[in-house]
Structure 1
């Protein structure tokens, strides 16, 4: 049994507008298969994408709180000129500068039109083959504990574990990294952005949920009601969902 991260779930007042922003930002396409707006590589809707981790923008009635999201995207660039051009283009699309206490760093911190923070990285060799999304980054208190949980929760390979960060990537060596960075502070508001995991075809979702709970995940009620997915939280309280296999 195994699970794979298939999309980043983003809550938004205007899901269509935020979806269009991310499609333009990444050079992908926005699809509206239902009430949500799914953003994935162009060429027609393929879900789950075999390589990319998509973005599913879900309409909600409440705006983002001023508190920094605990999960954000890092975008890859190939040169200093590309980084400068991408930052300028993103601002033209509606992104705004964000101060999360980063100080003087070589990357640029921005927020999408509804305030969700993300970073445009300086060129880094490690991200040269990830596609536009270099990494899905999660703030945490204990990267080693997150490596233990998430290393067993999903079928991605563990690349690095230190006191300051844990790094996973698809076992096939494609697509973005999943990184847990040691960060001060604790969770104070519900997550605005979270990961969605998917069992493989033929796998039993209920068995996967039970396996995750055995690893330390806890049940989560965010008012979802009767839905085909299951909401959970990891041992540090990061929310995530297990989707029904397609």
Structure 2
């Protein structure tokens, strides 16, 4: 059995409007599996092709306005591409964001619902990731996160230090999963953006949930009710879902 990071899930006030922004930002196609749910897929791939990474946007009554602990980093191939992408994203509705980054070579923006993301300067490490270079999670202990998530996903750990852990699928496909050390602070609300994991085979959900709990994950209640997926949280309280057969 295996478990892979298959998508990022956004809580949204208007899933279709936010979906249009991200579909145009990434050059992906947009669909909907149900009212209040918008799915984004890269061109040429259909869910759940293991060669692709996806975005899901789900409408909720009152998305939290908080400092988000999960964000996306977008890849670029040249300084001109970075400048062009930033300009295009602003035309689509993104706005500059100040998260205390100071003078850095990447651009920090917020999407139309305030989700912060970065447009990176060209970096060789992200040359083959596609438009999403990395899913970045703020944390207190990158080394502990690398241990848990490396085992959870059977991922390759490319870098680990006191400040950063960088993991990726052993097949070298899709974005990196990165854990960035930040100043610890009280966390009183759940994440607005979270990770979704897909078992292979899909019928292995219960076995994977048991394995994750043995690694230190705990059940989480985010008001999901009776659903086909299981909600867990890692040791630092980051919720994630293990998908099942719908």
TM-score by length of 1: 0.96
- Report the counterpart of residue 47 of structure 2 in structure 1: 47
Would you say how many aligned residue pairs link Structure 1 and Structure 2?
244
Alignment-derived partner of residue 237 in structure 1: 237
2:159·2:167 contact (CA, 8 Å) conserved in 1? yes
Correspondence for 1:211: 211
Q: Distance in 2 between matches of 1:49 and 1:103?
A: 39
Q: TM-score, normalised by structure 2?
A: 0.96
- Which consecutive aligned stretches of 4+ in structure 1 deviate over 4 angstroms post-superposition? none
Partner secondary structure for residue 63 of structure 2? coil
Conserved 8 A contact 2:202-2:244: no
Structure 1 unmatched runs, 5+:
none
List per-residue Cα deviations over 1:55-110 (Å, max 9, x = no partner).
10000010331x22100000000111110100010011011111111111100000
* SS of residue in 2 equivalent to 1:86: helix
Aligned twin of 2:224: 224
Could you tell me which residue of structure 1 aligns to residue 126 of structure 2? 127
Compute the displacement of 1:170 (Å).
Answer: 1.1
Q: CA RMSD in A?
A: 1.3
Q: Distance in 1 between matches of 2:3 and 2:212?
A: 10
Query: 2:26 and 2:46 mapped to 1: Cα distance?
Result: 16
Offset, 1:2: 2.2
Question: In 2, are the aligned partners of 1:137 and 1:179 still within 8 Å (CA)?
Answer: yes
Aligned pairs (5 A) from 1:1-246: 1-35=1-35, 36-43=37-44, 46-65=46-65, 67-186=66-185, 187-201=187-201, 203-245=203-245
Q: Flag the 1:130–1:184 CA change in 2: closer, same or farther, 3 A.
A: same
Counterpart Cα distance in 1 of 2:52 and 2:136: 15
Equivalent residues of 1:199, 1:245 under 8 A apart: no
Can you give the 5+ residue segments of structure 2 that lack an aligned partner in the other structure? none
Report the Cα distance in structure 1 between the residues aligned to 2:210 and 2:20, rounded to whole angstroms.
Answer: 36
